Amino acid sequence: MEAGYFDEGALIGVLTAQPLDRVLDYRAPEGGCQLGAFVEVPLGPRKVLGVVWGPGRGDWDIAKVRQVIRVLDAAPMRDELRAFLEKAGDYTLTPMSAMLRLATRAPGLGDPPSMRKVYRLGHAEPERMTDARRRVLEVLRDYGGLSFTLKELAEMAGVTTSVVKGLVKHGAVAEENSPRDLPFPRLDPDLGSKDLTGDQAAAAETLRAGVASGRYGTVLLKGVTGSGKTEVYLEAVAECLRRGRQALVLLPEIALTAEFLTRVQARFGVQPAEWHSGVTMTERRRVWKMIGQGGAQLVVGARSALFLPFRDLGLVVVDEEHDTSYKQEEGVLYNARDMAVLRASLCGARVVLASATPSLESWANADAGKYDKVELTSRYGPAVMPEMRSLDMRAEKLPSDRWISTALQSAVNARIENGEQALLFINRRGYAPVTICRACGHQIGCDHCDARMVEHRFLKRLVCHQCGETKPMPEACPSCEAEGRLAAVGPGVERLTEEAVKLFPDARVATLSSDMFGSARALKAEIEGIAQGSADIIIGTQLVAKGHNFPLLTLVGVIDADLGLQGSDLRAAERTFQLMRQVAGRAGRAEKSGVALLQTYQPEHPVIRAILSGDEEGFWKAEAGERRHAGVPPYGRMAGIILSSSDVQEAFDLGNALARQDAPLRRIGAQIFGPAPAPIARVRGRHRVRLLVKVDRGTPLQTALRQWVGQFRLKGDMRLAVDIDPQSFY
């Protein structure tokens, strides 16, 4: 047997995505197979996908070991990806079967190569020439013999598909079968970039040198909003492509991809591969296969793109690296920012963490010298940072159903008169967070969760933001049946829109919220329209804080700057600071200067003062000092234990048993808090109980946790999830 190759009949170990949590023994198929090969194997009466993980264990009755059915037409999984899945699984305490599912999330991987019809220039001339036929032939001649699908060719020529089919009958256009999963067009790294400023050029050279070294390293690219971080890290992508390696750019929001893809095409001549929930299943399979074969040089994607089977990954960019959406909160609980660093370390790739307001974890790593740091301190071109001011709401005499202050209203009117745009920001989806009965005081809650239902007036429904349950807005109180006494309490983005329409009757108002668009395509189209001036006033949730560029936007009004400071989340100050600075950064990104006005009832609060002063380093140092004193991340380690069951008593019984039998944790000096009801104690009908483990940095937490929870067998429908480095505590 050659190294990494198993001859026919050899005993091999196959990892499947089935929840068995062990490698299964099989016989190598006819013709043998490679280590890492994707295979189809029998499992009971079924056929399932698996990966050859190594030699068989031999701990099963040899007479009962079955043979691999076939080797799939896909590039074998490389050693680097197998090691990444194992290390990521060990870190997050995730079974390997679940890790493999993350790495095989593409449909039809076991299907034989499929074909599709494509059309290219034929050898004959049509008997009769028309304008429509001439346009089709000109397109084919202009593109030098390239092939197109029927739809592509018809759209490019501006004709119906019947025109193309008519030319096929005359032999002027040839119809051929071609593999459906084709390589992506090659990107040109030398096509030419925008003119960079001195700061940008120096930063780009630093990133290029890192990529050229061919060695692992992480750099924090910190630049004020509008400083041109994207153009800088695209130069690192270009260097990666020149060296024949693949690059991955992670974005936190699908809505950001449209503008970003346009910038990539301008820099490299063609668009890259995409990997996110808005991509069709057919395209997902193509991306997955081409990545493994080297037929895709650059992937732009969501956090799950980190698990694609890259043939030679040389660069990972995590844009807006502070964004909380990089933390997967269901299923496999992982942080894509941290996993990007892990994967890069295993394949000799560079990591660029880009943000105007980095996470405290990344700031601390750069401060300690673990990460390199590159800074961009000024905006690109003539743009300057917006002026920031607070509006003390204690001095306002607003009625109870108003949230836009008089000062903010005047500022919006002034911008509209100048032909500019204003953004009104509130981090609450829906119309109102609570619906209460004024007759009996009942608050309408979800039937399946311990959460209040949120009125979405545009949909005419109540929605639970925990489980997604919806129901029509009732006419009468569900508790006392009084009619006409239900009242909305508090503002949401829809209620703010209603108020803006009344205050600014002649203005064009657009509302941006993630749950108001049926598809990613519709959301992208709305954002593109706003950037081109289709609205005077934008009402938005945190979706608008994520990297969008609206050239006409010169005023940002934050309706409730105090909202994120409420509660006991240890990251509340950090997240409020990041969100306020990010949303304020939407203003004045072109030639006209911008202003950000923060409505607050606590203008003296340290976080509000830090936001207004712009003393970011001062804020991070103060926040770091408090975290270090408390021994919490990034200066300590934490893990959350989430127990859930249909029986609340069973969940608490297991939580109390865990708290009592804590010897493995005591040995490493860990503190245990709980069990206690989760802040939202019931979700989708399941009761939730939490424990929190806190330990010094550098302590072998995972080993102790594995021993601790391994003492118990889960019964019935009880579930236990371990969240290493929890980001939220709901």
What are the residue boundaries of the structural domains of the chain, listed by start? Answer: 5-103, 116-179, 199-376, 382-428+492-632, 430-490, 636-724
DSSP string, 6-50: E-TT-EEEEEESSTT-SPEEEE--TT-EETT-EEEEEETTEEEEE
Most confidently modeled of 86-100, 164-178, 273-287, 528-542?
86-100
How far apart are the C-alpha atoms of 471 and 356, rounded to whole Å? 40
Domains 199-376 and 382-428+492-632 belong to one CATH topology: yes
The CATH T-level fold of domain 382-428+492-632 is Rossmann fold (3.40.50)
**Could you tell me the pLDDT band of residue 590, with boundaries at 50, 70 and 90?**
low
Q: Buried b / exposed e across 140-178, counting CB within 10 Å, b at 16+?
A: beeeeeebbebeebbebbebeeebbebbeeeebbbbeee
**Could you tell me the pLDDT band of residue 383, with boundaries at 50, 70 and 90?**
low
**Could you tell me the pLDDT band of residue 326, with boundaries at 50, 70 and 90?**
very high
Predicted pLDDT of residue 144: 64
How far apart are the C-alpha atoms of 535 and 241, rounded to whole Å? 39
In the beta sheet, which residues pair with residue 350?
Answer: 217, 315
**Could you tell me the pLDDT band of residue 1, with boundaries at 50, 70 and 90?**
very low
Q: Which of 150-159, 530-539, 581-590, 721-730 has the lowest mean pLDDT?
A: 581-590
Q: pLDDT for 451-502, tens place per residue?
A: 788 888 777 788 887 777 888 888 899 889 998 888 887 788 888 999 999 9
Question: Is a pLDDT exceeding 70 seen at residue 547?
Answer: no
| Cβ partners under 8 Å of residue 199, min gap 6 | 227, 376, 377, 378
For 88-191, strand residue ranges (E) read: 115-121, 173-179
* 109-113 average pLDDT score: 76
* 175-196 average pLDDT score: 85
- Compute the CA torsion angle 655, 661, 665, 666 (nearest 10 deg): 130
Predicted pLDDT of residue 522: 74
| 3 state SS of 289 | helix
* 411-439 average pLDDT score: 88
| 3 state SS of 85 | helix
**Could you tell me the pLDDT band of residue 60, with boundaries at 50, 70 and 90?**
confident
**Residue 563: count of CB within 10 angstroms of its CB:** 15
Question: Is a pLDDT exceeding 60 seen at residue 696?
Answer: yes
Who has greater pLDDT, 665 or 551? 665
Rounded (5°) CA angle 307-308-310? 120
Predicted pLDDT of residue 593: 79
Question: Is a pLDDT exceeding 60 seen at residue 567?
Answer: no
Question: Is a pLDDT exceeding 90 seen at residue 335?
Answer: yes
| 3 state SS of 445 | strand
**Could you tell me the pLDDT band of residue 662, with boundaries at 50, 70 and 90?**
very high
Question: Is a pLDDT exceeding 70 seen at residue 518?
Answer: no
Tell me if 594 sits within 8 A of 556, measured CB to CB.
Answer: yes
Predicted pLDDT of residue 583: 83
Predicted pLDDT of residue 588: 67
Provide CATH code, domain 116-179.
1.10.10.10
* 656-676 average pLDDT score: 94
* 625-641 average pLDDT score: 92
Provide CATH code, domain 636-724.
3.30.70
Compute the chain's Rg from CA coordinates.
28
Question: Is a pLDDT exceeding 70 seen at residue 720?
Answer: yes
In the CATH scheme, what architecture does the domain 5-103 have?
Answer: 3-Layer(aba) Sandwich (3.40)
Which helix (H) or strand (E) segment holds residue 638: the answer is strand 636-645
Who has greater pLDDT, 108 or 166? 166
Selected from 1.10.10.10, 3.30.300.30, 3.40.50.300, 1.10.630.10, the CATH number assigned to the domain covering 199-376 reads 3.40.50.300
Predicted pLDDT of residue 96: 96
Who has greater pLDDT, 141 or 225? 141
Predicted pLDDT of residue 2: 53
Q: pLDDT for 119-138, tens place per residue?
A: 989 988 888 899 999 999 98
Whether the pTM exceeds 0.85: the reply is: no
User: Helices in 129-174 by DSSP H: which ranges?
Assistant: 131-142, 150-157, 161-169
